[in-house]
Amino acid sequence: MKVLVVGSGGREHALVWKLAQSQKVTEIFCAPGNGGIAQMARCVPVSAEDIDGLLGFAQKNTIDLTIVGPEVSLALGIVDIFQDAGLRIFGPDKKAAALEGSKVFMKDLLAKYNIPSAQYASFTDRDQAMAYVDKIGVPLVVKADGLAAGKGVIVCQELSEAREAVDLVMTQRAFGDAGNEVIIEEFLPGEEASFIAFTDGTTVLPLPTSQDHKAVYDGDTGPNTGGMGAYSPAPVVTPELHAQVMETVMMATVKALEAEGCPYKGMLYAGLMIRDGKAKVLEFNCRFGDPEAQPLLMRLNNDLVDVVEAVIDGNLASITLDIDPRPTVCVVMASGGYPGSYTKGYAISGLDEAAGEQDVVVFHAGTTVKDGSLVNTGGRVLGVTAIDADLANAINKAYAVVDMIHWQDCYFRRDIGQKALRRTNS
């Protein structure tokens, strides 16, 4: 079987790494891929946003299965055009992918079907948005409606911050057309968790829980990023809470999308805020999380092809997930300055030494080969992911490898997994 993975980040490297373990897979392609993926798959110089180019490549090379990593490809309708051409592809179609592509669509859906989330209002007029900010007061959250690479959400503790955030989205157009509409919603205190599942539109098959670290600095401070690290499982999600989320969030959302005429197949990812044993939805994503994919796929013992094909064929009820009970931890190494501006092209050292470490995988995100050396090309560069029977040991393993790797101005958080440790030890 020939498989095409669409995307170029750490999530896609983790997918390629997992697919390479399948006896069903004979050849893996990745478009466009990165420096680490190139060591395991044939990288194809086609952008994840070039849907026609991807279709042409898949047809020319008789690709048997395509797995979509990034949300932008889904929002552009890659699933629709591949299916129209008779090709097998994993992910929701364009209509269903609006669950992530439009926060207004998502919030309106949750409100209509009584799925727990924050109170909100949406605006296309700046002055009306400002008046609402003044009316509800702070703290509050300002969100760009469309896709903004995980950075279009601004938590505001001061009124001046909130007004600046509205102008950043609507007037300065910091997120482009994603800011055509803005959502202003109540601030939800608590602890976040990621709840990611496979679904064929009828069955919802959850992966283990995980927790992302969005803020750039230790202690969850600083601006939001695409994610600075993750671990699995997330002990904040108790068995009772897991059952609640499955019933009131995951199954309820799949049924709501079906009722709205956009049946959903693929990965369904709920970002949750948890307080006092109750969960509310912060956001939905329509694909694997990044960096959550790295620790989650390391724990998945199943052949990924079996699960993905069961989703496509509507047979997910026949699958039982085989999960490694050991916890996993992923530490993201980023370019200094991220999520703001940063310098590209620095040579990365220590990767050969790191490759010799047992139970640790270094997943590449923003890397490429230049003049025979791997260099940084993105904000998030590597995801050092470790597994161990003991969470503290997994954390120590990951950071031991992080400390082997270096490039100029590299940056990472030192506290990934500490919230889980505190819960585990309390």
Q: Kindly list the domain boundaries of the chain, sorted by start residue.
A: 2-93, 125-180, 191-318, 328-425
Q: CB–CB of 51/109 below 8 Å? A: no
Mode of pairing for the β-strands spanning 27-32 and 2-7: parallel
CA 397/CA 391 separation, integer angstroms: 10
CATH superfamily of 328-425: Phosphoribosylglycinamide synthetase, C-terminal domain (3.90.600.10)
DSSP reduced 3-state for 321: coil
- Taking only the tens place, the pLDDT of each residue in 135-157 is 999 999 999 998 887 678 889 99
Residue 15 has pLDDT above 90, yes or no: yes
Fold designation for 125-180 = Dna Ligase; domain 1 (3.30.1490)
Alpha carbons within 13 A on the beta-carbon side of 155:
13
Q: Which residues pair with 332 in a beta bridge?
A: 383
CA 288/CA 18 separation, integer angstroms: 13
For the chain, how far is it from start to end, CA to CA, in angstroms? 48
Q: How many CB atoms lie within 10 A of CB 312?
A: 17
The residue-averaged pLDDT of 383-412 equals 98
Fold designation for 191-318 = D-amino Acid Aminotransferase; Chain A, domain 1 (3.30.470)
The residue-averaged pLDDT of 276-299 equals 96
- Taking only the tens place, the pLDDT of each residue in 152-201 is 888 999 999 999 999 999 999 989 888 899 999 999 999 999 999 999 99
Residue 391 has pLDDT above 90, yes or no: yes
- Taking only the tens place, the pLDDT of each residue in 63-105 is 999 999 999 999 999 999 999 999 999 999 999 999 999 999 9
CATH classification of 2-93 is 3.40.50.720, yes or no?
A: no
CA 46, 73, 14, 4 torsion: positive or negative?
Answer: negative
Quick one: pLDDT at residue 146? 87
CA 69/CA 10 separation, integer angstroms: 10
| DSSP H helical ranges for 48-158 | 51-60, 71-75, 78-84, 94-101, 103-112, 126-136
